[in-house]
Structure formats: C-alpha cells, structure tokens
Amino acid sequence: MEHRKAYLTPEGIYLRDYFMNTTRKTLSNKLDKLFSLKVREIGYCQKEGCGKTDGLQCAHIYSRKNKWLRWNLENAVCLCSGHHMFWAHLEPAEFIRWCMKIKNFDYLDKLRQINRPMKEFDMQEIYDRLKVS
Ligand SMILES: [Zn+2]
C-alpha cells in the first residue's frame, strides 16, 4: 500500500516520519502518555487549597471520546489523585463550574464541533506539537 509522505496543513507542509507504520491504537496510547505528562508538568494539584505535588493525574474536562479535545491542553487540568477521583468524578457539576473559571469553554466548544474524523496524520501532528510545547 502506498502512503503519502507529505500533507499540506494550515501551518505548512507536514511530513510523515516515524509513525508511518504504527497503528492508530499505538499512536493513541503514545499520545495519551505524552499528554498526561504535559498536563502533570504543571507540578501541583490545581484545586485551590490543595497544592499537592505527588500522585498527580491528568483530568479531562470533556471526556476522551472527544478526539479533537482529547489531546488539547485546554481540555485538561492537573489534579492530585484524591481530587481527581473523589471530587472531579464524584461531584462533576462542581468540577465543571470550577473549570469554567480557569478554562476557555468557547474555544473547547468550537473544537467539539469539528466533525471530520481524526486521521493518523492528524494525531501525529498533535504529537509533534505537544512534544515541543
Ligand atoms: Zn488535590
């Protein structure tokens, strides 16, 4: 099967490289890992009054099934495991009201409306952009 080697994106020509033969699943896992790492680089639980620096987790605002938001830093916060599991997940309404104070929901909702399917090269582009951010 022939693969295109370059794609034209809004930011210019995009070249495929080492992900050429990786499956979507592998790529998705790699992206999840890198994304979580980036979110946790914040270094502390963002819930005010907590500030824990260990056991940090990446908490998504819109669920990961929203592919165009899944690896967008605006769609995640850094929380300690306690605030992630026992606050964000148990009190979702409170969590979202809090997120609305620190995140740009207009932007997130715009991304949510993208209805073209995410392709492998889209994922690779996101990966490369995350890697250098
Ligand atoms: Zn916390």
Per-residue pLDDT tens over the stretch 1-41: 445 566 666 655 566 654 445 678 888 999 999 999 999 99
Question: What mean pLDDT is reported for the chain?
Answer: 89
pTM of the predicted model as reported, rounded to 2 decimal places: 0.81
Give the residue extent of every domain in the chain: 6-132
In angstroms, the CA 126 to CA 35 distance is: 10
Range with the lowest mean pLDDT among 48-62, 71-85, 116-130? 116-130
The residue whose two tokens read 């370059």 is 6
- Radius of gyration from C-alpha coordinates of the chain: 16
Q: For residue 120, what pLDDT is reported?
A: 86
In angstroms, the CA 48 to CA 57 distance is: 16
Q: For residue 133, what pLDDT is reported?
A: 81
- The amino acid sitting at 93 is A
For the chain, report the end-to-end CA distance as a whole number of angstroms: 33
Residue 77 has pLDDT above 70, yes or no: yes
Who contacts 65 (Cβ-Cβ below 8 Å, separation ≥6)? none
Q: For residue 25, what pLDDT is reported?
A: 83
Residue 36 CA to ligand 1 centre (angstroms): 16
Range with the lowest mean pLDDT among 27-31, 54-58, 84-88? 27-31
Q: For residue 7, what pLDDT is reported?
A: 64
The tokens describing 21, both together, are 């033969």
Residue 87 CA to ligand 1 centre (angstroms): 9
Question: What residues flank ion ligand 1 with Cβ within 5 A?
Answer: 45, 47, 50, 52, 80, 83
